[in-house]
Structure 1
Amino acid sequence: MENTAKHITRKDVERVYFTNKESQDITRPSLTYWQDVRRRFMKNKLAILGSVIIVLMVLFAVFGYALTTQNYYSQDLTMTNIPPRLEAYRMDEDTLLYVNSEYSLYTLDGSGKLKERVEAEDENKMMREKVYDVGGKKVVLNYSGAAKAAKARKDGDMKLANSVENFTLKIDGKTPEMEKVWNKTYRLGTDYLGRDMLARLVYGARISLLVALIATFAQFCIGVLYGGIAGYLGGRVDNIMMRIVDIVSTVPLTLYVVLLMVVMGPGIKTIIIALGSVYWVDMARQVRGQVLNIKQQEFVLAARTIGASGKRIMLKHLIPNAMSTIIVTLTMNIPSAIFTESFLSFIGLGISAPAASWGTLASDALGGLRSYPYQLLLPSLCICLTVLGFNFLGDGLRDALDPKLRK
């Protein structure tokens, strides 16, 4: 086999010469620490996604009421359990008919806005049939199929149960065609008391973000100061202060809330005080560990040598150098605070009626989970998205603030 490799001679090679000045040129622009943090953070797609989710949730909480004309506490018992998407029957160009899962008849205009619930003129309970007069037309609603489906389901004949129609609707003896329309009056539906789900979700977002803000403020003001003092002073003072932290962290949060509810009663104030009195513990431990490490370094010794006071060393040297740990801990504990508030409200120890919280919305939806799954899906989705957003943001900040990951 012929060797096709080319022999390299001196003519094929060009020597490159560098002057002393050119050899010292910087190959890329110098970046400060925070510029480098921003560069690494912007490369993290999940962190950007988390930031977008958080911004959207904040906008939803602030401007969400612009999407609805209802409020979170008004009840309309004639509009209970109306879903966001309706299976309606067209009676004419301007009127649609909708039958809910309780076999009540509603009229809608052509665009999907609910008008009213129609009262039956005659009802035959033996035949399971209701007769209405809508705009001079006779509307007959027969829901005898629901009994057949229930009996088949009880007998274990699921094939028959799934094939039987729960009800039939006839207008002047004719069966109209069914079409799906969006609910323009209640865009995300209503709950079991006829309250607007969108308005209650907006109010719940405000509660959750307020709790997150209070928990963050308590962590930063109490946890950073407490942990910084314990780490800087060290010795017996550090030992006593950290034993107090251990005592606070061993008492369950639920017990705090129950005791506060006995004294102050249920409400947002009780939740805020409970979270504010507990959530600074992890921050204090993290800051203490960072301060113990940083205070042994040379620049702190130099500050002491030139006569800097302990307050100045703490505020100007120790805490700023522990800021990366503080920011990450704050961001990672916010979703925990939101989830804790939702859990306490879910079990009845948080926000009380008529105020709305994502946890109370999920709790109210449990009774009708099979018939109205959207009532549980919507608050659960809000909780999951918010928690995921803060977790993505926290992971991105942790990676960006670590100088060892610089590339």
Structure 2
Amino acid sequence: MELNEKSFERLSSEEKHSDEIVRPAISYWADAWRRLKKNPIAMISLVVLIISILLAIFGPYLVKYKFDAQDYKVLDNRPSAAHWFGTDNLGRDLWARCWVGARVSLYIGFVGTLIELIIGCIYGGICGYFGGAVDLILMRVIEVLSSIPYLIVVILLLLVLPKGIGTLIFAMCIMGWTGIARLVRGQIMQLKNSEYVMAAQALGSKPMRIIIKHLLPNTLGIIITYMSMDIPAYIFEEAFLSFLGLGVQPPKTSLGALVSTGQGVMTNHPYQLFIPCSIICIIVLAFNVFGDGLTNALDPKQRQ
């Protein structure tokens, strides 16, 4: 007897099979982006950040005035059609100065965070992977650095080294990497006993290759989240140090330097203080809110 499809009776009218894939497979990063897009506050913050970065790059070129050009005919002019943010006590256009200052502040934030991540990830990776005496000694170094007051280190470095952007970044990075080093160390200690790490060890891979090629990429979610929180911290620290006169020095400027200048004339010309303060608040708040949304989006426990 020949068997074919007509020889059997169909018991169910459902056309879909029980083992049919009804939802396409989606990667971790694609799922994180999907969840991030569902967070309207985080997306608004991302748009604000993009606009702020674009204005920091191209904003000074939208007006015909250079940020350091002085015009004694327009001293302390309020915002107008000619000078959108007004002028300062030397007749310099505040629109150009604010966005050049934002450029410097963002540059310090991004470069400082990048240097901190490179040092902290490698240091924490070595601590977590080797463990034992290596981890014990290196972690004591972190504890010593963390116990030293940050402002004292910056002041001492500025007394020895010439003031400038490079010195400021160096002073902030020399102690700022300890936080990410601790986070990476904890993640590496959890991941180093994974099967893919054992397979790499069995194939004869060197420890640094295992750390860089296998372990650190699996901590990328934590690193990105930390970076989104660390950039505004650097921007705020730069503003604080420049406000105290320890940061960016003339003729260069930054948002902190503009706040320091505006603080001296806030009684008669409050816009010179209010405008750069508002830009700092908007950028720092946007970074923090976006960082919160990114933390939730990259959390594997919330993946569906």
* Among candidates 347, 358, 378, match of residue 255 of structure 2: 358
More helix by percentage:
2
Cα deviation 1:309-362 (Å, max 9, x = unaligned): 323321222111111111111111111000000000001111112221111111
* Among candidates 374, 399, 402, match of residue 271 of structure 2: 374
Question: Paired residue for 1:10?
Answer: none
**Paired AA for residue 62 in structure 2:** L
- Deviation at residue 379 of structure 1 after TM alignment: 0.5
* Among candidates 58, 70, 74, match of residue 53 of structure 2: 58
Cα deviation 1:353-380 (Å, max 9, x = unaligned): 2221111111111222232221111111
CA distance in 1, matches of 2:264, 2:217: 51
CA distance in 2, matches of 1:269, 1:308: 37
Residues 155-170 of structure 1 aligned to structure 2 (within 5 Å): none
* Among candidates 106, 113, 122, match of residue 209 of structure 1: 106
- Deviation at residue 301 of structure 1 after TM alignment: 2.5
Question: Paired residue for 2:201?
Answer: 304
RMSD of the TM alignment (CA)?
1.7
CA distance in 2, matches of 1:253, 1:192: 33
- Deviation at residue 199 of structure 1 after TM alignment: 1.2
Q: Could you tell which deviates more after superposition, 376-385 or 75-84?
A: 75-84
The answer to whether residue 145 in structure 2 is matched with residue 248 in structure 1 is: yes
**Paired AA for residue 50 in structure 1:** S
The answer to whether residue 79 in structure 2 is matched with residue 73 in structure 1 is: no
Question: Paired residue for 1:271?
Answer: 168
Cα deviation 1:167-209 (Å, max 9, x = unaligned): xxxxxxxxxxxxxxxx222111011222111111011011111
* 3-state SS in 2 of match to 1:272: helix
Question: Paired residue for 1:282?
Answer: 179
Question: Paired residue for 1:325?
Answer: 222
Residues 3-402 of structure 1 aligned to structure 2 (within 5 Å): 17-18=13-14, 22-84=17-79, 183-402=80-299
- Deviation at residue 281 of structure 1 after TM alignment: 1.3
CA distance in 2, matches of 1:22, 1:30: 18
Unpaired segments of 5 or more residues in structure 2? Answer: 1-10
**Paired AA for residue 60 in structure 1:** L
Unpaired segments of 5 or more residues in structure 1? Answer: 1-14, 85-182
CA distance in 2, matches of 1:253, 1:56: 32
CA distance in 1, matches of 2:249, 2:72: 20
Identity level (%): 43
Cα deviation 1:110-161 (Å, max 9, x = unaligned): xxxxxxxxxxxxxxxxxxxxxxxxxxxxxxxxxxxxxxxxxxxxxxxxxxxx
Q: What TM-score comes out, normalization by structure 1 length?
A: 0.69
Number of residue pairs the alignment of both structures matches? 294
- Deviation at residue 256 of structure 1 after TM alignment: 2.2
Report if the CA contact (8 A) 1:218-1:279 is conserved: no
Q: What TM-score comes out, normalization by structure 2 length?
A: 0.91
Report if the CA contact (8 A) 2:106-2:235 is conserved: yes
* 3-state SS in 2 of match to 1:22: coil
CA distance in 1, matches of 2:275, 2:192: 49
Report if the CA contact (8 A) 1:72-1:356 is conserved: no
More strand by percentage:
1
Report if the CA contact (8 A) 1:68-1:199 is conserved: yes
Report if the CA contact (8 A) 2:67-2:100 is conserved: yes
**Paired AA for residue 312 in structure 1:** R
- Deviation at residue 250 of structure 1 after TM alignment: 2.0
CA distance in 1, matches of 2:252, 2:208: 44
Question: Paired residue for 2:303?
Answer: 406
* 3-state SS in 2 of match to 1:26: coil
- Greater Cα radius of gyration, structure 1 or 2: 1
